[in-house]
Structure 1
Amino acid sequence: MSVWAYVGLGANLGDAEANVRQAAQHLAAVASVRQVILSPLYRSAPVDASGPDFVNAVAAVWTDLEPEALLDALQAIETRQGRERPYRNAPRTLDLDLLLHGDAVRSTPRLTLPHPRLHERAFVLRPLLDLAPDMATPALGPLEAHLPGVAGQALSRLDDTPAAGLTFRG
């Protein structure tokens, strides 16, 4: 059964904008991914980390993959694009987080859905709401209601990027 899944994309090493766009293209090439729609790109300061600013986006993914299989695909894309994990919250060439997978709610040692911090991060909420303005989740309710809680986090839309609304078909 196909569902809409939502993936957070971020990068703050190398050509971060290109890394995010390339990741969306790689995601569209994954077997059982039918469509990928990329939000506008945003610039944000690192949260609980050091290093350069991040470029962030969210991708809506129409897929037949189960959550763990999609997570495997995301981690393979990170590896392909040079992701290293020298320490927690290290700067990165690419970070892909499975935020939502249909209405799935789960908590395992490997995967928590919805993502446990999606409502606490402006760089996730804003692009997610760009794609799905009326989104609500079973665990968090209407996501727009969480925007006041992240209003103090610096976030700027990169209006000059051609990424906004790009659709990739698998």
Structure 2
Amino acid sequence: MTRVVLSIGSNLGDRLARLQSVVDGLGAAVRAVSPVYETAAWGGVEQGPFLNAVVIADDPALDARAWLRRGQELERAADRVREVHWGPRTLDVDIVTCHDGSAEVTSDDEELTLPHPLAHQRAFVLAPWLAVDPSATLTVAGETTPVAALLDAIDADERAGVRQVDLALAL
């Protein structure tokens, strides 16, 4: 069985509906959903704020590449267009980490890098993940580190820019 942590975000159109489409699209595979956060765009491209959340899911029929394809299908269903790197988007579905049973799945190729190589630098990933799984860990440069410690290491201004909002995703 594979268990994934997915970071989802949207800053175009009905942002909450776009996030909900992921939860709905994954159906019975969803095990937990974080609160929803609003964050300033990351990556230096001028654009509106994102809604972000983390979804934890598992499915015995999916390996890491199948999770990647599933995330891309959900993005296509939300009319995702990849025009500008880190630009505005209807939906972004990133695999942060994947486990097959107790073993962490690693991958380092141009199609899929696991664990996500920048997740440890992104408060908009770590804060929702920590909210839904306080004991979460992430492997960075071969070392497994508590997500709480990774979040604490991020600049205070960036952490402050990740604000929980009064919106929720339905399971």
Which range, TM-score by smaller chain? 0.7 to 0.9
Q: Give the structure 2 partner of residue 10 of structure 1.
A: 9
Q: Give the structure 2 partner of residue 110 of structure 1.
A: 111
| Cα displacement string for residues 42-97 of structure 1 (whole angstroms, at most 9, x for unaligned residues) | 00000112210000000000112100011001001100111001121120000000
Q: Give the structure 2 partner of residue 23 of structure 1.
A: 22
1:156 CA drift (Å) = 0.5
| Count of aligned pairs between the two proteins | 159
Secondary structure at the counterpart of residue 4 of structure 1:
strand
Q: Which amino acid counterpart does residue 18 of structure 1 have in structure 2?
A: A
Mapped contact 1:24–1:36 kept (Cα < 8 A) = no
1:17 CA drift (Å) = 1.2
Q: Give the structure 1 partner of residue 97 of structure 2.
A: 100
**Distance between the aligned counterparts of 1:114 and 1:123, measured in 2?**
16
Q: Which amino acid counterpart does residue 157 of structure 2 have in structure 1?
A: G
Q: Give the structure 2 partner of residue 52 of structure 1.
A: 48
Q: Give the structure 2 partner of residue 149 of structure 1.
A: 153
Give the alignment's Cα RMSD to 1 decimal. 1.4
1:101 CA drift (Å) = 0.5
Q: Mind listing any 5+ residue stretches in structure 2 that lack a counterpart? A: none
**Distance between the aligned counterparts of 1:96 and 1:130, measured in 2?**
18
**Distance between the aligned counterparts of 1:38 and 1:54, measured in 2?**
17
1:26 CA drift (Å) = 1.0
Secondary structure at the counterpart of residue 40 of structure 1:
coil
Mapped contact 2:2–2:64 kept (Cα < 8 A) = no
**Distance between the aligned counterparts of 2:51 and 2:116, measured in 1?**
19
**Distance between the aligned counterparts of 1:145 and 1:41, measured in 2?**
21
**Distance between the aligned counterparts of 2:49 and 2:138, measured in 1?**
29
**Distance between the aligned counterparts of 1:75 and 1:121, measured in 2?**
21
Q: Which amino acid counterpart does residue 142 of structure 1 have in structure 2?
A: P
TM-score, normalisation: structure 1: 0.87
Q: Give the structure 2 partner of residue 70 of structure 1.
A: 67
